[in-house]
Amino acid sequence: MSDTSTRPPTASSTRAAAWATGFAMFAGTVLIVTGVCQALAGIAALFRDEVYVATPNYIYSFDVTAWGWVHLILGAAVALTGLAVIQGQTWARIVGIMLASLSIIANFLFIPHYPIWSLVIIALDIAVIWALVRETRETV
């Protein structure tokens, strides 16, 4: 019997590690960008709430100022998690998946106020979740 722990890395494992690193960089970068953009959208909702459309009979209707706080806090948390994902923190993958899921829900509920923006962020969050779930790193 041979010991498999001393085998040199193969070309396919090296390629897989490169893809894993690429997925992590993609997810981290998108988390940072969407987090900053969500925080800016939250600031806009706080200071200039007339920018967003007010829908009178929406079932999930909240005050636009409340949505501003939601987007500001969620955006800051998402951006900070993106930095941790790029640094390779294992906990950041799990937190990133959870925050991207919360971002999907928040932007789904925000669709009547800013529909195109919300749909773009939902699509990016789905891509981030896919990349974070797909990413595997070699443990040293």
Predicted TM-score (pTM) above 0.85: no
Cβ atoms 128, 29 nearer than 8 A: no
**Amino acid making up residue 73:** I
Residue 140 clears pLDDT 50, i.e. is over it = no
Least confident of 1-15, 50-64, 68-82, 106-120: 1-15
The distance from CA 94 to its chain's CA centroid, rounded to whole angstroms, is 11
Domain ranges for the chain, please list them: 15-49+61-134
* d(C-alpha 71, C-alpha 15), whole Å: 37
